[in-house]
Amino acid sequence: MEKDHYILGIDTSCDDTSAAVVVNGTSIIANVVSNQNDIHKKYGGIVPEIASRKHLEMIWPVVDEALIMSGVNISEISAIAVCHGPGLIGSLLIGVCFAKSLAFIHRIPLLAVNHLEGHIFSGFLEPVIPDFPFIALVVSGGHTSIYRVNEPGDYKELGRTIDDAAGEAFDKVAKLLALGYPGGPFIDALSKKGNPGLIPFPRPYMNKGLDFSFSGLKTAVLSYLKKEPTSKKEDIAASFQSAVIDVLVRKTIIAAKKEKAESILLAGGVASNTLLRNQMQEFAKKEKIRTFLLSPELCTDNAAMIASAGFYHYQRKNFADLDLNPQSCMPLSGKK
Ligand code: KG4
Ligand code: ZN
């Protein structure tokens, strides 16, 4: 029988400090996430300097907790997979420096994982996985891109946002409506009580290929609020959400049809949005395309997805050196 491989994953790319232990790239035995929402909510967005200081405080306890929960001793870890970008540079630095130190002290191989590749690998941690090639919509607070996934490690970016990410638009509109942070879940919940057809917010870039643009939509909400200050928040939230989701769904389906892909995977924080999940399933079904949804804890940032992608690099002996440095900008395309 083949020996099991335990990968320790670490992600500190944004405002979540996370560590996980995953067996053979598919089974999670520990996935610890310490989020900083309570700290950043008073600013209505992430303050990078505060985020990196908090990572520094939390990285040891979080890694320790993941190892204890997994019941695996550090000496049994086959490799340490760390996210080295894209993300906030000060945040990434904490995870990368910590992973390098741990790898050096315990003489464990190091693996460098792109955060976006990690989001796609979240799909391999669920019991049923999509057939290749599939289309992945990675939609979060920092990213909005459509990929054709040919096989693990082989990606083609088909479209991306030219300005704000969809999650960023949710967070900014929630701030305008004084709903709370992060805004996505608040808008999702409030929209259920509103009329999505009441305000005809623009569907930006709808007929312009597979790229997205969301910053104008946020401005449209602001202008509407100035003009109609007494309008119901529920209707604004529902109408805004419907505009964002319309564009995301339409373009993802177009991409799947163009690439003759039979499956769509939704990944990233916004992939837990109720309307996105329902509409993607409904429209994809009409085109005989299967939609793969992740459990909410695998949509948002987590280190299990980094460990899962890391296992793929481990199998290919694609190890990182101890002079690994993080990078804030790191597009995902081509063969890894
Ligand atoms: O993937 P993630 O945890 O971090 C990044 O890599 O950015 O995504 C966080 C983003 C936030 O913008 C948050 O508002 C959004 O995901 N989000 C949602 C929902 N849950 C989280 N957006 C819309 N609807 C939701 N239910
Ligand atoms: Zn992310």
Residue 10 CA to ligand 2 center (angstroms) comes to 13
Pair of tokens at residue 87: 């993300």
| Top mutation candidate among 270, 278, 299 for ligand 1, by most atoms within 8 Å of CB | 270
| Sequence-ordered list of residues with C-beta below 8 angstroms from that of 80, at least 6 positions apart, any chain | 7, 8, 9, 10, 99, 102, 103, 108, 109, 110, 111, 310
pLDDT (tens place) for every residue of the chain, 336 residues total: 789 999 999 999 998 999 999 999 999 999 999 998 888 888 878 899 999 999 999 999 999 999 999 999 999 999 999 999 999 999 999 999 999 999 999 999 999 999 999 999 999 999 999 999 999 999 999 999 999 999 999 999 999 999 999 999 999 999 999 999 899 999 999 999 999 999 999 998 888 899 999 999 999 999 999 999 999 999 999 999 999 999 999 999 999 999 999 999 999 999 999 999 999 999 999 999 999 999 999 999 999 999 999 999 999 999 999 999 999 999 897 776
Q: Cα of 227 to ligand 2 centre, how many Å?
A: 35
Q: What is the pLDDT of residues 91-101, one digit of tens each?
A: 999 999 999 99
- What are the pocket residues of ligand 1 if the criterion is a CB atom closer than 6 Å to any ligand atom? 14, 140-142, 167, 170-171, 182-185, 188, 268-270, 272-273, 300-301
- Ligand 2 centroid–CA 270 distance in Å is 10
Q: pLDDT tens digits for 291-334?
A: 999 999 999 999 999 999 999 999 999 999 999 999 999 989 77
The helix (run of H) or strand (run of E) holding residue 9 is: strand 6-11
Measured CA to CA, the distance from residue 173 to residue 184 in angstroms comes to 9
CB 12 within 8 A of CB 83: yes
